[in-house]
Each structure stands twice: as C-alpha cells, then as structure tokens.
Amino acid sequence: MSVAPPLLAVEGLTKSYGGIHAVRGVSFSLRSGEILALIGPNGAGKSTCFDMLNGQNKPDTGHVRLLGEETTGKKPREIWRMGVGRTFQITATFATMTVRENVQVALISHGKQLFNLWGSAPNFDRGEAGRLLELVGMGGYADRPCGELAYGDLKRLELAVALANQPKLLLMDEPTAGMAPRERVDLMRLTASIAREKSIGVLFTEHDMDVVFEHADRIIVLNRGTLIAEGSPAEVRSNPQVQAVYLGEGLLYEAGHREGASA
C-alpha cells in the first residue's frame, strides 16, 4: 500500500546569489489543512524560499512537489493552476472595479473562461463572489470600488481573491505587513479558520511573533539560508539555537513574556 504524498514536499532547496547562500539545502513538508510558519531574521532566505515555491525564482538545486507532482521549473501561472495560491496580489486588483467584481474576475480566471472581461464581468459568478466575500467578512462592501477600501479590508479582499482559485496551498509572505497589531491577529485568525475548514495548507512568514505563536500548528526556522529548527510553537520557542538567533531582536522573548504574563 502506498502512502499518500504530503500536500507540499520541499527537498534540498538551494539558491545562491554570487557568494551569498540565500537558501541552503532546505527540506520540509506540509499537510493539507496545516498552518506552517516560516520564520527567521531579516535576510534569512524566507522570501527566496517562497519565490522558489511559487515559480518566480528557479532553485539552483532541489525539488518542490505538490501532492507528489513536481512543480520545480514550472512557471508561476502553471503552479497557480495546480492549486497554489498567493496573497500579496493586491496591487493586481482593479481599483475602479467594485469589491465583488474583483472576486468575479478571479473566479472567471479560475474557471478559465474566455470572454471580454470588461464586457461581462458584472453578472458572471455573482453569487459565488458574494459567498466568498461573506466568508471573509466583506459582504457589506461588495458594491464599493476597491480603491476606496482601507488597508485591512483590502487584505481580506485579497484573501477572497486567493480563495476564488480554490487553492490547495496558500503561500503568504508577510500577509499582515503594514497592518495594526489587532488587525494582524484578526487576519491570521480568519485565514487559519478558513484554511482548517477547507483543508487548505498554509505556509506563511510573519515578523510578529504573537501572530506566529497563536496561529501556527508548526514552525520552521531559517537562519542564513539554513533550517535550524522545526517543531510546535512551544518546542521552537524553547529551542536554544532559535533563542540565540532571536535574542538580538528580542522578539521571541517578548512574545513569550507577553503570553506568560497574560496566562
């Protein structure tokens, strides 16, 4: 009997820029419905990893597999079609279109429908767009032009747009960057609950350790391109090597301290 492959399997991923080893032999896997955080100090190689997973950047060596199927070397569009969604596409939303129309465009794109976008978007997949907007708490904003939205609401729209593709895996590189602390926690809570309900795997990076420790099922830690730790939030927080890396920034101590104080 063969064992089902994990949703995402990363094996020996490596990328150098001249003399800089941005990512060095990184291997990990992720299950459907699992929320995995990739953390590490600035320049650790997190974004480089993400870009190799979504096809924007080619690894020097290594493999990426989605449900056993090789994605290494494929174009971003092909990887997206295989069910790998991303958030940070907000700059790709249309400011003059309404919130609902932006989701409709994403649904159409997912349905690979060929037609004149500007002509027929308003009626296409209207109901499904509405359901996705309700899911992310944006039902009341459906008819607003996207350009009027506050930043936190744009982020929720971005999530709805990503969900329109029915992703199996969501890649989120600093999804909460630029948001207020309260909004960050809310956005990740929303993302995590939808992902668990729909069995979507999530890989995210985040500098706010409160968000990481509250929402990740598991954490992997990169430092200077190399994975130095992997485990539950509690295991990672108590890992001496991780503490050494983060001590200078005070982040881990602060998050643990706050959690301890509020318990």
Ligand X SMILES: Nc1ncnc2c1ncn2[C@@H]1O[C@H](COP(=O)(O)OP(=O)(O)OP(=O)(O)O)[C@@H](O)[C@H]1O
Q: Using CB under 6 A, list all residues that contact ligand X.
A: 17, 20, 22, 40, 42-48
Please, which residue, 141 or 204, has the CB nearer to ligand X?
204
* Spatial distance between the Cα atoms of 113 and 229, rounded to a whole number of angstroms: 44
Q: In the 8-state DSSP scheme, what is residue 145?
A: B
Which listed range, 44-52, 130-138, 143-151, 157-165, lies at the site for Mg ion (CB under 5 A)?
44-52
- The minimum distance between CB 224 and Mg ion, in angstroms, equals 14
- The minimum distance between CB 21 and ligand X, in angstroms, equals 8
Residues 6+ apart with CB under 8 A from 121: 97, 101, 104, 105, 108
> E strand or H helix at 20, and its extent?
strand 20-30
Which listed range, 26-34, 45-53, 158-166, 249-257, lies at the site for Mg ion (CB under 5 A)?
45-53
Instruction: Give residue 39's identity as a one-letter amino acid code.
Output: I
Give whole-number Cα distances, 246 to 6, 40, 53, in Å.
30, 8, 25
53 binds, among Mg ion, ligand X, none (CB under 5 to 8 A by kind): none
- The minimum distance between CB 244 and Mg ion, in angstroms, equals 21
Please say whether the dihedral angle defined by the alpha carbons of residues 78, 98, 191 and 42, taken in this order, is positive or negative: positive
Which listed range, 47-55, 80-88, 162-170, 242-250, lies at the site for Mg ion (CB under 5 A)?
47-55
Kindly tell me which residue out of 27, 47, 56, 226 binds Mg ion, with binding defined by CB under 5 A: 47
- Residues forming contacts to Mg ion in the complex (CB under 5 A) are 46-47
